[in-house]
């Protein structure tokens, strides 16, 4: 199983130099990807912009949006161009994770309704694939640049419903779980595999998951401070999310082992702080 690390794009107080230094350290430490999480109504950096900054100071590590809230980007051809630009400039390192999100205020702040968002996402993804395939859209021809990978960047979809799993099977290369434990992952991953087979797809979907971590002397305090704020909209469930964070090296190892046993292809450990020691401590924990 590949082990990635989150970029602290949503952690309050993260400055530009911190983000760049984090990206450099993550690549040097051997992590397989830099992942972002997406949300509009919160004081964090937009995902494609954050990953573009990370791409400029790295050369090997993958760049994964985990996940971009697709329906908020209402101009699908423009989003396709943005994604293809990052993919091309980074040498084909973009993994475009896209999902619906779980917060109504992200939609209301955009003047959008949550009603019909699944259908809109499917239409959007279809349009983006047409753009990436080189379909002509005007007198000058296709919308460029051409992605580094034929057909577009690797496309990973979030979601935890039967409709979402069918969407993965029809339109994507894989699936990502945005939160939850290994048992939840196994159950959902089985449903994804079933939908994939029912759709007549060959091979198998790549399956990823996120998990939160904090390490060091004040690990529990750091995890609580960030997660109880970030997930404050979830009420009492925010406490469960905070409690699930791996806050010791042994918990990190146990988390990794459980997801690997459950068939996860890549686990992205998402930070709850932006101190550079977190990269070093995580690398030591998984060594």
* 9 pLDDT more than 90: yes
Would you say 252 and 215 are in contact if contact means Cβ atoms under 8 Å apart?
yes
Mean pLDDT score, 155-183: 96
**Strand extents, DSSP E, the chain:** 2-6, 33-36, 62-69, 94-99, 136-138, 141-142, 154-157, 174-177, 206-213, 266-271
* 229 pLDDT more than 90: yes
* 167 pLDDT more than 90: yes
CA 180 → CA 114, 211, 245, distances in Å? 23, 7, 10
Please spell the DSSP secondary structure of 162-183, one letter per residue: HHHHHHHHHH-SEEEE-S--HH
Mean pLDDT score, 238-259: 97
Ranges of each domain in the chain: 2-286
pLDDT at 68: 97
Mean pLDDT score, 176-180: 92
**Could you tell me which residue, 137 or 52, shows the higher pLDDT?**
52
| Reported confidence tier of residue 143, pLDDT bands at 50, 70, 90 | very high
Mean pLDDT score, 232-251: 94
* 139 pLDDT more than 90: no
* 179 pLDDT more than 90: no
| Inter-axis angle of helices 249-261 and 277-286, nearest 10 | 60
Please give the Cα distance from 31 to 145 (Å, whole number). Answer: 28
DSSP 117: H
The set of long-range contacts for 218-227, using a CB threshold of 8 Å and a minimum separation of 24, is 219/247, 219/248, 220/247, 222/272, 222/273, 223/247, 223/272, 225/272, 226/11, 226/12, 226/272, 226/273, 227/272
| Reported confidence tier of residue 102, pLDDT bands at 50, 70, 90 | confident
* 175 pLDDT more than 90: yes
Mean pLDDT score, 91-106: 96
Summarised one tens digit per residue, pLDDT across range 187-223 is 999 999 999 999 999 999 999 999 999 999 999 999 9
* 138 pLDDT more than 90: no
Summarised one tens digit per residue, pLDDT across range 269-281 is 999 999 999 999 9
Please give the Cα distance from 127 to 131 (Å, whole number). Answer: 6
Which contiguous run of DSSP H or E holds residue 239?
A: helix 237-244
**Cis bond before residue 155 (omega within 30° of 0):** no
Q: Mean pLDDT across the chain, nearest whole number?
A: 97
Q: What superfamily does domain 2-286 belong to in CATH?
A: Luciferase-like domain (3.20.20.30)
Q: What percent of the chain has pLDDT over 90?
A: 97
**Could you tell me which residue, 234 or 5, shows the higher pLDDT?**
5
Would you say 50 and 100 are in contact if contact means Cβ atoms under 8 Å apart?
no
């Amino acid at each position: 199983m590949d082990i990635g690390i989150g970029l602290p794009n949503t952690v309050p107080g993260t400055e530009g130099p911190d983000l760049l230094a984090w990206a450099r350290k993550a690549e040097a430490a051997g992590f397989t990807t830099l992942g972002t999480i997406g949300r509009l109504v919160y004081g964090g950096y937009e995902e494609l912009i954050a990953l573009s900054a990370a791409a400029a100071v790295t050369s090997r590590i993958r760049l994964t949006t985990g996940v971009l809230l697709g329906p908020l980007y209402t101009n699908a051809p423009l989003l396709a161009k943005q994604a293809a630009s990052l993919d091309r400039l980074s040498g084909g390192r973009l993994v475009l994770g896209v999902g619906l999100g779980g917060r109504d205020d992200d939609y209301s702040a955009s003047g959008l309704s949550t009603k019909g968002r699944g259908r809109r996402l499917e239409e959007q993804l279809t349009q983006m694939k047409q753009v990436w395939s080189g379909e002509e859209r005007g007198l000058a021809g296709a919308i460029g640049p051409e992605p580094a990978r034929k057909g577009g960047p690797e496309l990973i979809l979030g979601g935890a419903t039967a409709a979402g799993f069918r969407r993965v099977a029809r339109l994507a290369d894989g699936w990502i779980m945005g939160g939850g434990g290994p048992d939840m992952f196994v159950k959902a991953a089985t449903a994804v595999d079933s939908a994939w087979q029912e759709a007549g797809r060959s091979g198998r979907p790549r399956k990823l998951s996120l998990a939160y971590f904090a390490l060091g002397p004040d690990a529990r305090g750091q995890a609580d401070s960030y997660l109880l704020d970030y997930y404050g909209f979830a009420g009492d469930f925010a406490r469960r999310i905070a409690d699930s964070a791996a806050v010791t090296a042994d918990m990190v190892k146990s988390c990794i082992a459980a997801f690997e046993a459950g068939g996860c292809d890549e686990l992205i450990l998402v930070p709850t702080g932006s101190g550079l020691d977190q990269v070093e401590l995580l690398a030591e924990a998984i060594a």
